[in-house]
Structure 1
């Protein structure tokens, strides 16, 4: 069956679809297998998490895979599909575990610290990025990962920006380093400062990157702190939406200076709209509470599969060429957020 057109779009025929699916199968199967392994190990090592393990697994396979993983190899089409489409599906899945109603229930009491840390992070990212003369892609990915939502924010930004793969890998490695440091350092510092369970939860939720690391630090400090920290972290994760819109509009302006007025359809990526729809659905209560852990697991698996695809395209030489400046940038941002959050909590009466 030959291709046909509907509404100006060209749709492939059934024979082309079957051939395309066959070309995708080896790479998708490889990404799925490694993502499953990363997910299992990620539950054993929550501080590391499935996304980082997926990236590492992909990089290791790339080191030994040879030509089969290169652009003209048999695994290449499926791995490219994992990098692009599975990444977008993962962001939509994230919305199903992010009910708007529950996040908004955090209330006005936490808003000054939540919003304040985001403003502090944005200002610090701009200033420090310029001071270190960091390239725009690296600065953006490390900044959104540090200030918003770790690997999930980097994954969402990657789906919009289409950055170099080595830049994505380095940004994720940077986030991982400071996640580990935060999980080890936050609980003893919180006890030294005499913080309450809720105050520590707010600190962890606004100053630690990935949700898994927020939860790990909270559990070490106390069960109530862990619960509150995750809710705060979910509220922070909602910033993925305006982040994606801003990056998408900036990308279009850069690519098409002086172009015609943009329509809403062009400004808003489809996966962002689906993320919002999924979040609203999650807030209606139609999804049983017993499904939430499975949805979270599925979302983590999809991100891990996408990062396997990114990992298979990395080489250690690419990462070495990035130098130490992105790592220094991430460290400065992480410390700035941690201190800024504490200062805002003190100013707003959190103890």
Structure 2
């Protein structure tokens, strides 16, 4: 009886995360301008701020929230691979593909340097760089798994990715008119600079179907960089662990969920999947990430974020502006 209860100790927290994801979708339905994932994170943070709820969050609900914020996040990353078709990416042309790859690399390094300059702690600079340069929350979660980062280091980068990615939905369409970008250029700019796939869709669709189509393809080309970047991080983590007490628990060079992500990419690229399957996968991926974000939000403690809040906000703002500028330069060059 006690063994069974122990095995199912994750159920209450996962159920709460699922309910939070559903509530986040309800908020999104009422306020379409607020992405589902963002709404779920905000609801999680609000839940974590309620004093009467905190004992349960840190007690009976804690195992399930940990499952939601880690395992569900990784499952969401696997399903994300079904959005990528190698054929669509190849259609961009080698010049565009190589320039996007270069943009991801330069953005990662610059964001990491900016975060270090603002004295962000622990693994936060690496996680912020991954989130801003590759694919937002998914990249933060994947890189955190590869680095063995704790929840405290993960929470701040996810908050920054969510904040500035949401601001892009409002700011970029307004800047597009001032910069004189046509719909294709705007879509390219959005896909090359905005963090999460959902935020890309919400931003690009303001300029029509043509902008949305190019934005999604460019964005998914950046997403494809998730696998090699995480593999590099895993190798570095293994080297760091060599000779230490943690050497016996070194992460795999390519984590299992990244292998699943690559398999999903190949499946989408070479197997004709019905539209209904892709639609279900899209909903499932969003639901998994929404539940994960609620779990992460509920585990955050604002008083801890405040300690590095101004530094993190500053680092995020500078990195965001730099990446917007780099991506805009890429648009004009290609």
TM-score by length of 1: 0.85
Please tell me whether Structure 1 or Structure 2 has the larger radius of gyration of its CA atoms: 1
Gaps of 5+ in 2: none
Of 184, 187, 201, the match for 2:170: 184
Are 1:68 and 2:93 an aligned pair?
no
- Could you tell me whether the CA contact under 8 Å between 2:234 and 2:251 is conserved in 1? no
C-alpha distance in 2, partners of 1:257/1:42? 49
Shift of residue 110, structure 1, vs aligned partner: 1.9
C-alpha distance in 2, partners of 1:33/1:281? 31
TM-score by length of 2: 0.89
1:153 matched to which residue of 2? 139
- Could you tell me whether the CA contact under 8 Å between 1:149 and 1:236 is conserved in 2? yes
Gaps of 5+ in 1: 1-14
After TM superposition, the runs of 4+ consecutive aligned structure 1 residues lying more than 6 A away are none
C-alpha distance in 1, partners of 2:63/2:20? 16
Q: Number of aligned residue pairs: give it.
A: 331
> What SS class does the counterpart of residue 23 from structure 1 fall into?
coil
C-alpha distance in 2, partners of 1:265/1:160? 6
C-alpha distance in 2, partners of 1:133/1:90? 31
- Could you tell me whether the CA contact under 8 Å between 1:49 and 1:212 is conserved in 2? yes
The C-alpha deviation readout for 1:242-297, integer Å capped at 9, x for no partner, is 121122222222223489x99x9931211111111111111123321232232112
C-alpha distance in 2, partners of 1:200/1:233? 13
C-alpha distance in 2, partners of 1:340/1:218? 18
Are 1:205 and 2:212 an aligned pair?
no
The change in CA–CA distance for 1:197 and 1:138 in structure 2 (over 3 A counts) is: same
Q: Which moved more, 1:187-196 or 1:86-95?
A: 187-196
- Could you tell me whether the CA contact under 8 Å between 2:152 and 2:300 is conserved in 1? yes
> What SS class does the counterpart of residue 299 from structure 2 fall into?
coil
Of 108, 112, 122, the match for 2:94: 108
Q: CA RMSD in A?
A: 2.6
Shift of residue 233, structure 1, vs aligned partner: 0.6
The C-alpha deviation readout for 1:296-338, integer Å capped at 9, x for no partner, is 1211111111222222222111111123112111111111111
> What SS class does the counterpart of residue 128 from structure 1 fall into?
helix
C-alpha distance in 1, partners of 2:95/2:66? 44
2:63 matched to which residue of 1? 77
Counterparts of 1:1-351 in structure 2, within 5 Å, are 18-45=4-31, 47-64=33-50, 65-70=53-58, 73-257=59-243, 266-348=252-334
- Could you tell me whether the CA contact under 8 Å between 2:112 and 2:126 is conserved in 1? no
